[in-house]
Homo-oligomer: A and B are copies of this chain.
Amino acid sequence: MINPLVIPELRELLREQDKDTLTEVMADLHPASVAEFSEGLSVEETWQLLNYAPIERQAEIFSFYSLGKQVEMVSGIGRERMSQLLEIMSPDDRVDLLKRLDPEVVESLMPLVAKAERQDIRHLLSYPEGSAGSVMTTEYATVPAEMTASEAIEYLRQVAPYRETIYYVYVIDEDRHLIGFVSLRDLILARASALVREIMHRDVVSVRVSEDREEAARLLARYDFLAIPVTDEQNRLVGIITHDDVIDVMQAEATEDALLMAGVSSIEENYLEADFTTVWRRRAIWLSALFVAELFTFTALASFEDAIQAVVALALFVPLCISTGGNSGSQAATLVTRALALGHVRPRDFLRVLRHELLMGLALGVTLGLIAFVRAVLTPHSVLGNADRWMLALVVSQAVAVICLWGTLVGSLLPLLFKRLGFDPGYASSPFVATFVDVTGIVIYFSIAKLYLL
């Protein structure tokens, strides 16, 4: 890899207007590398730098900047330049950018863009966020079934500059229905006179334009494809999703899931540069909601206040009981969510999972109960107060065992239930479910305590 430039060097070259060096750098380096080392330049400097590359390459480099930088570059001196780039950028990249721009800016850009591109943009912008349509590109290659392999290769050679990929070519009939696909490898391996019809794969895996983008990612990953075609309700080809977009989708979805669980899903800006009050408001809303939910632990404990009054030592084991439910629950939830993702378990296996986790929860509960028993028996005399050592140990160990069983059952069955209801099974690992297990754990613990001690 060529050693990338550092910002001061780059600024020096720009100031000196060193055309030879800059043109060479822009031509030789991968567009992603250029974007990476120039990300730190100001908007004006970046536009200056891009001047040293032909317009097609400018569009490529521009697509590799972070979306935040892209948005910045459109403002100010960028508007006029941008409309040129928009015509050349690949349809999915430009729609990603336009979605992030102020609607007024988009409207001011649109008249500057050629009519065909404008229609394509409006069309792609109309697909809902998260759908296959929202991540597809319309720059795919198609051939008729009656073309020969050598004609098809010659055709691909001509259209290559305007297509996202020429490695997969889709075969459509006169109504644009998808009837097959061939790879460039197939075309190259075939005899020159072979018809596309003879060599094409008829078992085409595709997604509907309205389907979840995750389904497109799952299928592409499953079949090791380079691209997956997207069709409308009439099975007409409307776009393709390429392997690199699937990787982006996978990263975006993984991040989305993690952030959702931590209640920061709507913070999209650069962490250190985002507006403080906005971030505070978003984080505070989530933490406050969880805090209010967790207030039920207070209510639950208050209703057992008589038991705590009678045997204060009981209160000391509350955090232990709560965490037992949380840990056993999250373990079971993770295992079942993963088994669902791998297809080892389906929602209709509910009873099998129930039986399995009932036994497992009991076995785990007994294990933890034994540890709890030993620890409770060793409670120092000073702390014990008027409580009987053995009785306390019996209560705590039984409570730990039952709560472990309960957490395991809730954690393992909720993902199946969520999946059944059409939600993401991952919600079973959400902190709200954890709060529910916390509260019920307290109730279980003190109910057992009341049986023995009061």
Do residues B272 and A356 form an inter-chain contact, with CB atoms below 8 A? Answer: yes
Do residues A188 and B157 form an inter-chain contact, with CB atoms below 8 A? Answer: yes
**Is A176 an interface residue when CB atoms closer than 8 A count as contact?**
no
**Is A29 an interface residue when CB atoms closer than 8 A count as contact?**
yes
**Is A371 an interface residue when CB atoms closer than 8 A count as contact?**
yes
**Is A222 an interface residue when CB atoms closer than 8 A count as contact?**
yes
Encoded as 1 (CB less than 8 Å from any B CB) or 0, chain A from 323 to 335 comes to: 1100110110111
The segment from A15-23, A106-114, A117-125, A285-293 found at the interface with B is A285-293
Q: Which of A250, A291, A353 has the most chain B CB atoms inside 10 A of its CB?
A: A291
The segment from A70-78, A80-88, A129-137, A263-271 found at the interface with B is A263-271
Closest residue of B by beta carbon distance from A34: B203
Do residues A308 and B315 form an inter-chain contact, with CB atoms below 8 A? Answer: yes
Which residues of chain B have C-beta atoms less than 8 A from A333's C-beta?
262
Do residues A244 and B224 form an inter-chain contact, with CB atoms below 8 A? Answer: yes
Do residues A287 and B157 form an inter-chain contact, with CB atoms below 8 A? Answer: no
Which residues of chain B have C-beta atoms less than 8 A from A201's C-beta?
30
The segment from A48-56, A96-104, A295-303 found at the interface with B is A295-303
| Shortest distance between the CB of A207 and any CB in chain B (Å) | 10
* Copies of this chain in the oligomer: 2
Encoded as 1 (CB less than 8 Å from any B CB) or 0, chain A from 302 to 339 comes to: 10010011001101111110111001101101111111
Of B202, B247, B330, B335, the residue contacting A246 (CB under 8 A) is B247
Do residues A255 and B205 form an inter-chain contact, with CB atoms below 8 A? Answer: no
A339–B268 alpha-carbon span in the complex (Å): 10
Which residues of chain B have C-beta atoms less than 8 A from A272's C-beta?
339, 344-345, 349, 352-353, 356
**Is A363 an interface residue when CB atoms closer than 8 A count as contact?**
yes
Known contacts being A364-B287, A380-B302, is A226 close to B250, with CB within 8 Å? no
Of B205, B315, B319, the residue contacting A438 (CB under 8 A) is B319
Which residues of chain B have C-beta atoms less than 8 A from A302's C-beta?
316, 379-380, 383
**Is A185 an interface residue when CB atoms closer than 8 A count as contact?**
yes
Q: Which of A66, A259, A270, A315 has the most chain B CB atoms inside 10 A of its CB?
A: A315
Which residues of chain B have C-beta atoms less than 8 A from A319's C-beta?
294, 297-298, 301, 318-319, 322, 438, 442
Of B184, B334, B360, the residue contacting A184 (CB under 8 A) is B184
**Is A427 an interface residue when CB atoms closer than 8 A count as contact?**
no
Of B161, B295, B431, the residue contacting A375 (CB under 8 A) is B295
Which residues of chain B have C-beta atoms less than 8 A from A312's C-beta?
305, 308-309, 312, 315
| Shortest distance between the CB of A38 and any CB in chain B (Å) | 14
**Is A230 an interface residue when CB atoms closer than 8 A count as contact?**
no
In the complex, chain A residues 175-192 whose Cβ is within 8 Å of any chain B Cβ: 184-185, 188-189
Give 22 CB contacts A-B under 8 Å: A28-B203, A32-B223, A166-B185, A243-B243, A243-B244, A247-B247, A258-B334, A267-B335, A270-B339, A271-B335, A283-B331, A284-B364, A284-B368, A287-B324, A290-B327, A291-B368, A294-B319, A297-B323, A298-B316, A301-B316, A309-B385, A330-B431
Extra contacts, 20 of them, besides A1-B205, A263-B327, A276-B359 (Cβ < 8 A), are A1-B206, A28-B202, A33-B205, A156-B188, A157-B189, A160-B185, A167-B167, A167-B185, A226-B243, A243-B243, A262-B331, A271-B336, A271-B339, A272-B352, A291-B320, A294-B324, A298-B316, A305-B382, A308-B316, A319-B319
